[in-house]
Amino acid sequence: MPRIQPVDHATATGETKDLLDSVQSALGIVPNIFATMVQSPKVLEGFLALNASLGKGQLPAGLREQIALAVAGANGCDYCASAHTAIGKGAGVSAEELANSLHGQSSDAKVQAALSFVRRSVATRGRVEDSDIQSLRAVGFSEGEVIEIVTHIGVNLFTNYFNHIAETDIDFPVVQTPQDARAA
């Protein structure tokens, strides 16, 4: 049972209803994370705006989902693992790559460099070494792409923590994170 209750879209009014209507229009559903986040409409508004902006960024959709999965795997967030596996499939990432991303692994060298950086960033709370940044540059990531990777880490840390604290009910096909991450 969630610690923070989601808002019922059917009874929402005002700004809350408008935000949930826009989510429904864009996604065809209102995921529980958004129905819960809208308890503070400005939080959901800001979150959606940042995600919309990042969606127009330099990183491809598949890589964005793999980054989200690497963060979810590191933090043991089953809600985000479930949501981003479903979204990643829609972005054309194979089931095998999505599963590997939860462990910070990829068969693609450039994606692997990004996921290794993501996992190192989460493990060190952002206190990476010069060599960690250089490993991204070595496989062709631009300065702007590095900044976007860092921003995706932050956005996903927020949603991981949000779901842990709220105990958001999973409303996607359930994907469990590695047991050791959930125990931490």
User: How many Å apart are CA 80 and CA 68, to the nearest integer?
Assistant: 7
Q: What integer pLDDT is reported at residue 121 of this predicted model? A: 98
User: How many Å apart are CA 159 and CA 179, to the nearest integer?
Assistant: 19
> What is the 3-class SS of the chain, one letter each residue?
CCCCCCCCHHHCCHHHHHHHHHHHHHHCCCCHHHHHHCCCHHHHHHHHHHHHHHHCCCCCHHHHHHHHHHHHHHHCCHHHHHHHHHHHHHCCCCHHHHHHHCCCCCCCHHHHHHHHHHHHHHHCCCCCCHHHHHHHHHCCCCHHHHHHHHHHHHHHHHHHHHHHHHCCCCCCCCCCCCHHHHHC
**pLDDT tens digits for the chain (184 residues)?**
899 999 999 999 999 999 999 999 999 999 999 999 999 999 999 999 999 999 999 999 999 999 999 999 999 999 999 999 999 999 999 999 999 999 999 999 999 999 999 999 999 999 999 999 999 999 999 999 999 999 999 999 999 999 999 999 999 999 999 876 655 5
Amino acid letter for position 159: T
User: How many Å apart are CA 10 and CA 98, to the nearest integer?
Assistant: 34
User: How many Å apart are CA 106 and CA 165, to the nearest integer?
Assistant: 30
Q: Which among 113, 115, 110 is positioned nearest to 98, based on CA atoms? A: 115
